[in-house]
Structure 1
Amino acid sequence: MDNKISLTQLKELVTEAHEQFKGNTDGANADYIPYLANINKDLFAISICLMDGEVINIGDTNYAFGIESVSKVHTAILALRQYGADKLLELIGADATGLPFNSIMAILLESDHPSTPLVNSGAISACSMIMPIGDSDAKWKAIVDNIAELCGSETPLIGELYKSESATNFNNKSIAWLLKNYNRIYDDPDLALDLYTRQCSLGVTSEQLAITAATIANDGYNPVSKKQVFKASLSPKITSLISTVGFYEHSGDWLYSSGIPAKSGVGGGVLGVLPGQFGIAAFAPPLDGAGNSVKAQLAIKYIMNKLNLNVFGGNRIIIED
């Protein structure tokens, strides 16, 4: 069923969601990364990018926060672009672990592959895959250029966050070398880990994440830059990865209650993809126990339920002027 809504009404709904939840005080900033612990907990932003490139921004949408694990989506896309869907499945996989995002146990349980590029082990493995192998500078350029294409603009490195991440990434060091033990890392482990740490330390706005999500929803065509970033056939692949593990061990609960595939990061960002309709992103630093932004979840669920949209349903909206 098609439901018609004006652009003005949609903007009013996003504003309503922001007003509804901006006073929420649940959750806490990530404190295992010192930089993130000190971010203003009251920051809150919601952005929607439509298929025609129209962007709705409400709140602190110009604030550049740490992209963190949302960057896993971008680099998974780059690996898909470079290797294709079948090779990614062979080298990394597409299974949900059902365990926390930084789980070492998941590698031991599934030693034949790191499960998915959207958990830490698979993301480090994906960074190791990025071509050209062995050239850190060229690999980093490929990663940041790909992210800029998806976001429609550049994402600067937050030096203080990178330093903070590098000083505390002991668990990820263990993951990188355990992957090496199982022959599931495809370049120098320390090089791959540094690339992963750096990409997590990029600064991104909610608008940039909404544009990324819209590009995925729009079969790889960035509706803002008007550029075909990746092949249309890859969009269902990345959306399926987001669906199965975007909220880690809470992914099923999230899909059940929100109806939209989404990827979270401990920086407070959430990116949601509704194929053929729009990309949505929200940002607020306080997290729940699984590392997902409390207010971002509430806002996106509110908007999806008010619009009566669900990736598993038949309803669609038509935006009228």
Structure 2
Amino acid sequence: MTNKQARLDEVRQFLPEWLEQSRQEAAFGEVASYIPELSKARRDALGIHLLDLSGNSASAGDCDTTFTLQSISKVFTLILALMDNGEEAVFGRVGMEPTGDNFNSMLKLELVRPGIPFNPLINAGAITVSSMIKGSSPEEKSARILEFFRRLAGGSELQVNEAVYRSEYETGNLNRSISYFLVENGVLDGGVENVLSVYFRHCSIEATCRDLARMALVLAGDGTDPVSGEELIPRRYVQIAKTFMITCGMYNASGEFAIKAGLPAKSGVSGGILTFVPGALGIGVVGPALNAKGNSSAGVHLLERLSQRMDWSLF
């Protein structure tokens, strides 16, 4: 750990320069527009925050920019569903394998093991997971998710961006199609609109790179809060989440990111990326311009370069 702290000092020296170099990659990406509210993000924004288990940090760029978690939230709703229901119940309804298809594809639902989503990080799987969060109403489920996320973020007052939520809810017809298919196959219950309300709300929780880094740090510490020492997540569920992040977390570029960066990571179409160095660092990145695979063009470039320079790869 001491070596990692010393290397964080090294990171501070070259991070601003590297960030500005990576920012140029934003020119090759596009801001997500299929959720209309996301299209308002600044295309060339790029920020990063790194936080270690002793509270030391390094940051550069637009790290105070707020953005919605989008698919990053799926990691933590999976963990909460596991804490609520256990492995057997969750993985009786959601699989454990990468799909090779787009995150919002319905193809494998019909062609392979009908009706069962391949994994919890694609939309079909995350919608199913959202239905498994305990609560007597969509409002109670959403409140539990928000409170859990706030605890992981060290007490940060995270909030749902209501404009993004409405934008997702009003335009989310493909997710409705997926949901009705899941209902037809006996995978999803609780009412499509109720479940989608929960799903769209946790995707619309707003954060900064600092919040992401703090949430990632809990995963880096195997589920233990680095300040209080409290176990917020059972270690076993961190192992599960970490594995999904490696195999599925960067959409159809997960294998490439594993080779080039070698870190567990989860991206979102708002341009956020949450990643961590196990036992050492939590990292949050935002860069709204997305590449063809739906990941931040500039953010991926910066993380791959950092990991290679600092020898952070797990492999």
Q: Do the aligned partners of residues 202 and 310 (structure 1) sit closer, same or farther apart at CA in structure 2, a change above 3 Å counting?
A: same
Aligned twin of 1:239: 242
- From 95, 111, 114, the counterpart of 1:111: 114
Q: CA–CA distance in 1 between the matches of 2:188 and 2:54?
A: 39
Q: CA–CA distance in 2 between the matches of 1:248 and 1:42?
A: 22
Aligned twin of 2:194: 191
1:129–1:185 CA contact under 8 A, matched in 2: no
Q: CA–CA distance in 2 between the matches of 1:165 and 1:278?
A: 32
Answer yes or no: is 1:67 the counterpart of 2:30.
Answer: no
Aligned twin of 1:173: 176
SS in 1 for 2:163: helix
Q: CA–CA distance in 2 between the matches of 1:17 and 1:29?
A: 22
Shift of 1:268: 0.4
Query: Match of 2:18, as an amino acid?
Result: A
- Which shifted more, 255-264 or 107-116? 107-116
1:211–1:224 CA contact under 8 A, matched in 2: no
- From 293, 298, 306, the counterpart of 2:296: 293
The residue correspondences of 1:213-232 to structure 2 (distance < 5 A) are 213-224=216-227, 226-232=229-235
Q: CA–CA distance in 2 between the matches of 1:10 and 1:139?
A: 40
Shift of 1:112: 5.0
Q: Do the aligned partners of residues 13 and 85 (structure 1) sit closer, same or farther apart at CA in structure 2, a change above 3 Å counting?
A: farther
The RMSD of aligned alpha carbons is: 1.7
Q: CA–CA distance in 2 between the matches of 1:67 and 1:168?
A: 18
Q: Do the aligned partners of residues 137 and 178 (structure 1) sit closer, same or farther apart at CA in structure 2, a change above 3 Å counting?
A: same
The residue correspondences of 1:93-112 to structure 2 (distance < 5 A) are 93-109=95-111, 110-112=113-115
SS in 2 for 1:91: coil
Answer yes or no: is 1:257 the counterpart of 2:260.
Answer: yes
Q: CA–CA distance in 1 between the matches of 2:108 and 2:56?
A: 41
Aligned twin of 2:87: 85
- From 205, 228, 245, the counterpart of 1:202: 205
The residue correspondences of 1:50-61 to structure 2 (distance < 5 A) are 50-61=52-63
Q: CA–CA distance in 2 between the matches of 1:118 and 1:13?
A: 33
The residue correspondences of 1:272-291 to structure 2 (distance < 5 A) are 272-291=275-294
Q: Do the aligned partners of residues 7 and 247 (structure 1) sit closer, same or farther apart at CA in structure 2, a change above 3 Å counting?
A: closer
- From 268, 273, 284, the counterpart of 1:270: 273
Q: CA–CA distance in 1 between the matches of 2:49 and 2:189?
A: 36
Q: CA–CA distance in 2 between the matches of 1:159 and 1:138?
A: 17
Q: CA–CA distance in 2 between the matches of 1:23 and 1:95?
A: 34
Q: Do the aligned partners of residues 224 and 28 (structure 1) sit closer, same or farther apart at CA in structure 2, a change above 3 Å counting?
A: farther
- Which shifted more, 200-209 or 11-20? 11-20
Shift of 1:224: 4.5
Shift of 1:105: 0.8
SS in 1 for 2:31: coil
SS in 2 for 1:90: coil
Q: CA–CA distance in 1 between the matches of 2:206 and 2:220?
A: 22
2:98–2:118 CA contact under 8 A, matched in 1: yes
Answer yes or no: is 1:248 the counterpart of 2:251.
Answer: yes
Query: Match of 1:12, as an amino acid?
Result: Q
Query: Match of 1:149, as an amino acid?
Result: R
Q: Do the aligned partners of residues 260 and 6 (structure 1) sit closer, same or farther apart at CA in structure 2, a change above 3 Å counting?
A: closer
Aligned twin of 2:10: 9
Q: TM-score, normalised by structure 2?
A: 0.93
SS in 1 for 2:242: helix
Q: CA–CA distance in 1 between the matches of 2:228 and 2:123?
A: 30
Query: What stretches of structure 2 of length at least 5 have no aligned partner?
Result: none
Q: CA–CA distance in 1 between the matches of 2:72 and 2:60?
A: 20
Shift of 1:54: 2.4
Answer yes or no: is 1:160 the counterpart of 2:169.
Answer: no
Q: For 1:82-108, what per-residue CA distance to the aligned partner results, in whole angstroms no more than 9, with x for missing partners?
A: 122333222212111111000111211
SS in 2 for 1:56: strand
Q: TM-score, normalised by structure 1?
A: 0.92
SS in 2 for 1:187: coil
Q: For 1:206-241, what per-residue CA distance to the aligned partner results, in whole angstroms no more than 9, with x for missing partners?
A: 111111111111011122565321112221111001
Q: CA–CA distance in 1 between the matches of 2:228 and 2:288?
A: 28
Aligned-pair identity in percent equals: 32
Query: Match of 2:137, as an amino acid?
Result: D
